Amino acid sequence: MSDARVRRPARTLLEGAPWRAILRFIVPIWIGNVIQQSYYTIDSLILGRFVGEDGLAAVGSSFGLVSLLFGTVFAFTAGVAIRLAQAHGAGDHNAVARSFWTGTLIATTVGGVAGALLALTAPVAMTLIGVPHEIRSDATTFYLVFCLGLPLTAFANFCTHSIRGLGDSIRPTIIMLVSGVVNAAVALWLVAAAQMGVLGAALATQSAGLCTAALSLVVLLRAHRNLHTRSWPALAGGGPQARQGAAMAFQSAGIGVGNVLLQAAANSLGAASIAGVSIGMRVEGFALAPLAAFGICMVVYCAQNAGAANLQRVRHGVRQASALCVLLAIAESALVIAWAGEIATAFLGDTDATVVDAATTYIRVSALFYPVVALVFLLRASLQGVSITRPAVLSGLGELVAKSACAAITVAGGGVFAIAISSPASWVVAVIPLLLAWFAWRRHSLRTDRPPATLAA
């Protein structure tokens, strides 16, 4: 395969009108994010239909912890892959290969160690977040299977980030589509046919991860020959990759810990409210997937163009992408608010008024602030793409504080509404340091036309 063919996808981000390049790159990511969100949504639908409210509540009660782990691993591997994207933008294929294999070693090692430690403490974790006794066994099972699969999750995510970092957003989407079909088929088989309940749903999610990892590695090795194993991990150069991954993981973990505290607060409201909040969180995740795709795209866009030393193109791209992202968020807000009740009832065969009311409240309050979180996704990713990570960490800490406060209000009697307002409050707090950091970087880049080392983490 010629170098021209290997490099062609990256030129869509390095050349032409930024907004066109971003749209071409982001459309497959939109589809892929929706598919990825569908993994847990499909599991919830199947559990609600074939197991009932207790099965849905069991998964929902541990979903905050699962989201914490998945989000942290996703952010960590995205950070580890930024060096690869920057090297590709600079045209340094040897550095790309070293970054890939070094990142693979880092991602799988960290995932394995973290997964083992977390699995050992699974029963304690369920007790700490206050999972009701009647659903604790199933909740522990779902969480434990996810912990044991963390090395696979880390490797699959890193491979997906690497494919996009090399300029290809189409193949990851195809891989996710195949994995989504595998997830749905295995979930139906294990939950509905084999009657394995929550364990079946957990194993179905892991089967999708295995499919993603295997297909992604094959795509990388076949389409990018410079990644073949003649370039082994460069441990001496792994520090910058690990540090950038750790910074992104830290800010994501701060957000995730806030979600866990909220889940613990929600668990005190009873099984019906847990199920309703669980539905609301899944709808929120599904609705935010297209907005989060801007973040995935802008990490690659900014990293490649910063690697190519074209900071003017970085500035123009962020401005144009911001307008597109906020307009999309406004449209989504209107649609989700209008159809909130119908969306909530789709998750349960028999309509439970308490569950539907809790879900509808969460969905409508959250949807009002989609334009704010759109800017959070876009600015956080853009700053990370030019190797500025401290503002993202600060925004993550801000989200943790906001969600912790809402959790306390819930326990004090705030009920479902306090849970519903938690995400909007955290988004408002998070966007402030990101806006300040972006405009500071923009002013500096206009003067020097190079990344400001004083702001880099």
**Model confidence, pTM:** 0.81
Show the CA angle centred on residue 16, arms to residues 14 and 20, nearest 5°: 100
Identify the pLDDT of residue 369: 95
Identify the pLDDT of residue 55: 75
Strand residue runs (E) in 20-61? none
Judge whether 167 and 7 are in contact, CB under 8 Å.
Answer: yes
Extract the residue ranges of the chain whose pLDDT is less than 70.
1-12, 37-40, 64, 228-237, 348-351, 449-457
Identify the pLDDT of residue 433: 94
Neighbours of 447 (CB within 10 A): 8
Residue 17 exposed, middle or buried by CB count within 10 Å (0-12, 13-18, 19+): exposed
Identify the pLDDT of residue 456: 38
Judge whether 173 and 35 are in contact, CB under 8 Å.
Answer: yes
Give buried/exposed letters for 369-404 (b at 16+ CB in 10 A, else e): bbbbbbbbbbbbbbbbbbbbbebbbbbbbbbbebbb
Helical H segments across 386-420, by residue range? 390-409, 415-420
d(CA 452, CA 443): 10
Judge whether 312 and 9 are in contact, CB under 8 Å.
Answer: no
Residues contacting residue 49 through CB under 8 Å, at least 6 positions apart: 349
Identify the pLDDT of residue 3: 43
Task: Locate 290 and state its tokens.
Answer: 């297209």
pLDDT, one tens digit per residue, over 403-422 is: 889 888 887 778 888 888 98
d(CA 402, CA 409): 11
With residue 411 as reference, give the H or E element that holds it: none
